[in-house]
Amino acid sequence: HFRPTRQLKNGVTLDELYPNGKWELDEALRPRYFDFGLRNAFLWLDRLHKLAEWVARHSFHPFRKRALKKCEQWMLERYEGSDGLAAIFPAMLNSVIALEVLGYEKDHPIFAREYMQLKKLEHHTPDSMRIEPCFSPVWDTAIVSIAMRESGVPAEDPRMKRAAEWLIDREIRFRGDWYHKNPVDVEPSGWVFEFNNKWNPDVDDTAMVLLALRQIATDNPKRRDECFRRGYNWMLAFQCKDGGWAAFDKDCTKSILEKVPFADHNAMLDPECVDITARILEVMGLEGVPITNPQVQRGLAFIKKMQEEDGSFYGRWGVNYIYGTWQVLRGLKTFNYNMHEAWLIRAHDWLVSVQHADGGWGERCNTYDDPVHKGLGPSTASQTAWAVMALCTYGDPGMATLRRGVEYLCRTQNSDGSWTEDEITGTGFPCVFYLKYDMYRNSWP
């Protein structure tokens, strides 16, 4: 409907991002003759759509105003209880632009609030400004709480109690957008990644919070247990047809949507993934669910189906095969599963095979573009910790590979107890953008 543009001042350009210069770049998506694939069909339809747009701009279009109003109302509703639209930079930025073209003045309360939320993501230095994609307090708090407990901090420690109460207070008791695809008879629950984003609780954060809450004492154990049970039941309700779990939705896997020209880097879907499925199995195993449970069996079948030929597992939300393989081994161990079954030994052997000469493990984001790079990259504290935790599931503390991994972590620790990690080990959208969790370098080891 609108095509806002803004002229950059003082000759500022982004030409350095284009190897051959911006003006030599042709980004047009042109349909090809005699290509009968879905993507090409959508490109031809796109040509017709652009023709219809031209006609609409130069003639009568009775539904435009109504359509814009519906879009505006949908957006305004989702500002409620959220720190910006979806509390993540791309949606927040686009929504601020949308408000401006819809005629909202800069001093309008809604525009001012959304613009302020966007500005909170800025990090300024004397000579630069960087933008954080979003905040991750729930995720970070849950992981750090687990790390502290497994490092020997008592469950009754005041710091642990405060963390538990903070997490409990952030349970989402609201029926958000997830209900449209998953209208189940279950109490609304779940947790989000950010501070406030009530429309979009996700299964992965929920699983991590549950792993934390079950290890921490509170002054009101009944409240904690009721919160845990709601979150647990809500999480289980998202198992997909294939047996796995995804992050935000259930069975959001219609691949035809990735063929349309407006597909956002082919990141429109929310397919089931091994790492989340294995983490949910970890929660179920710790809760004493037997391996014969139908949901466990379906999840297990999904994981087996997704194993790579070399024994590794793809990591959707962490970089990459080290992350996925670690979570599978850790998840199944909670069932006292036979870790010496052939398929799990293959996963174990793959991890051992990619250990670096310095004793650590490392893998870069380019593995998403080409798996030939899997297991390659500078050793990092977080990825080494994942590999060490995975190998610990085999119960042999004297294993040479395991010992070398621990020695790497001890040797690279800084005098203040922290680790230095320059590599990015978190995944936002594979092949599109990645996340550098600054706490990963300390919380995972």
Q: What is the 3-state secondary structure (H, E, C) of the chain?
A: CCCCCCCCCCCCCCHHHCCCCHHHCCCCCCCCCCCCCHHHHHHHHHHHHHHHHHHHHCCCCCCHHHHHHHHHHHHHHHHCCECCHHHCHHHHHHHHHHHHHCCCCCCCHHHHHHHHHHHCCEEEECCEEEECCCCCHHHHHHHHHHHHHHCCCCCCCHHHHHHHHHHHHCCCCCCCHHHHCCCCCCCCCCECCCCCECCCCEHHHHHHHHHHHCCCCCCCHHHHHHHHHHHHHHHHCCCCCCCCECCCCCCECCHHHHHCCCCCCCCCCECCEHHHHHHHHHHHHHCCCCCCCHHHHHHHHHHHHCCCCCCCCCCCCECCHHHHHHHHHHHHHCCCCCCCCHHHHHHHHHHHHCCCCCCCECCCHHHCCCHHHCCCCCCEHHHHHHHHHHHHCCCCCCCHHHHHHHHHHHHHCCCCCCCCCCCCCEEEECCCEEECCCCHHHHCC
pLDDT above 90 (res 312): yes
Question: When comparing pLDDT for 37 and 428, which is higher?
Answer: 428
28 pLDDT band (50/70/90 cuts)? low
Mean pLDDT across the chain, nearest whole number?
92
Q: Looking at residue 112, what is its pLDDT?
A: 97
Q: Looking at residue 9, what is its pLDDT?
A: 80
Residues 6+ apart with CB under 8 A from 331: 277, 278, 279, 280, 281, 282, 285
365 pLDDT band (50/70/90 cuts)? very high
Q: Looking at residue 302, what is its pLDDT?
A: 98
Weakest-pLDDT range from 63-77, 164-178, 262-276, 326-340: 262-276
Q: Looking at residue 265, what is its pLDDT?
A: 63
- Strand-pair partners of 245: 273
pLDDT above 80 (res 378): yes
Q: Looking at residue 370, what is its pLDDT?
A: 95
Rg (CA), the chain: 24
How do the domains of the chain map onto residue ranges? 1-59, 62-122+130-134, 137-443
Told to judge if 127 belongs to the known catalytic residues of this protein, a careful annotator would answer no
Q: Which CATH class is domain 137-443?
A: mainly alpha
Q: Can you tell me the mean pLDDT for 198-209?
A: 97
Q: Can you tell me the mean pLDDT for 298-321?
A: 97
The one-letter amino acid at 33: Y
Q: Looking at residue 50, what is its pLDDT?
A: 75
Q: Looking at residue 54, what is its pLDDT?
A: 73
pLDDT tens digits along 76-105: 999 999 999 999 999 999 999 999 999 999
The span from the CA of 87 to the CA of 134, in Å, is 6
Q: Can you tell me the mean pLDDT for 344-348?
A: 97
pLDDT above 90 (res 8): no
Question: When comparing pLDDT for 32 and 164, which is higher?
Answer: 164
Q: Looking at residue 298, what is its pLDDT?
A: 98
264 pLDDT band (50/70/90 cuts)? low
Share of the chain above pLDDT 90, in %: 77
Active-site choice (204, 249, 270, 275): 204
pLDDT above 80 (res 62): no
pLDDT above 70 (res 1): no
Q: Looking at residue 259, what is its pLDDT?
A: 72
pLDDT tens digits along 119-157: 999 999 998 889 999 999 999 999 999 999 999 999 999
Could you tell me the two tokens for 108?
């309008």
pLDDT tens digits along 319-333: 999 999 999 999 999
The span from the CA of 404 to the CA of 39, in Å, is 49
